[in-house]
Chain A
Amino acid sequence: MTGTADLEQNYRRWLRWYPKSFRREHETEMLGVLMAAARPGQCRPAPAECLDLVQSGLCLRLRPPAARTRVRRDHQAPPPCRDGHQPR
């Protein structure tokens, strides 16, 4: 059980790369997904998972706050994030 708690704590640390507002809404949910996808006995996130969380978190942080409520207009598209979506 300690391994599971450690893993969850570890994931929680990596989720700090996400904006606070995003974490408020999605942290518990994302932790559930990360823990469901974990291998039995895993107590640390895999390096690729960490990289994915850092990149996605940074991508959301770099997105202008107004973009989160605006309806997409798409005339001037900035470079895409690695999930293939355009940050705005």
Chain B
Amino acid sequence: MTRSHRDPVRVAQRTGSSTVYTIAMAKRTMQEATFLILTALAASSQHGYGIISDVATISDGRVRLRAGTLYSALDRLRIDGLVEVDREEVVESRLRRYYRLTPAGSEQLAFEAARLHSNAATAFVRLGLTGGAAG
């Protein structure tokens, strides 16, 4: 993850250039489920069911992750170096594996949050709802 050392948020803010965004983000827009999983892990490590519950809370019940979807996303995020295993526990004879964000994961989440924030701000401005409060 050589690009993780560049701090894409600061680079993009400094230059205001969309090409920098393209290079830094490797041409991929993060899917909502992935964004919410990373957000769920941003404050502290969580196990699988904890992530599912937290994603439902964060999204006001709109996104209900299923186990299959969660674990293929986690597998991918681990391969990409954005998430890692924090610890394992056995609760009622079942394995619980806790996941946490890596520094690269925090960076990527911050970048994506800044991108969404900027897009939303533009949308509000163009709708004549400056200040960000709809209604």
Residues on A facing B (Cβ under 8 Å):
22, 26, 28-37, 48-49, 52-57, 59-60, 67-72, 74, 77, 80-86
How far in angstroms is the closest Cβ of chain B from A61? 11
Question: Across the interface, which residues of A come within 8 angstroms of B69, CB to CB?
Answer: 52, 56, 82-83
Whether A26 contacts B73 in the complex (CB less than 8 A), given A74-B26, A77-B27, comes out as no
How far in angstroms is the closest Cβ of chain B from A67? 7
Residues on B facing A (Cβ under 8 Å):
1, 26-28, 30-34, 47-49, 52, 66-73, 75-76, 79-81, 94-97
Say whether A32 contacts B79, CB under 8 Å.
no
Provide the bound-state CA to CA distance between A53 and B33, in Å. Answer: 16
Provide the bound-state CA to CA distance between A74 and B3, in Å. Answer: 12
Whether A29 contacts B27 in the complex (CB less than 8 A), given A56-B69, A84-B34, comes out as no
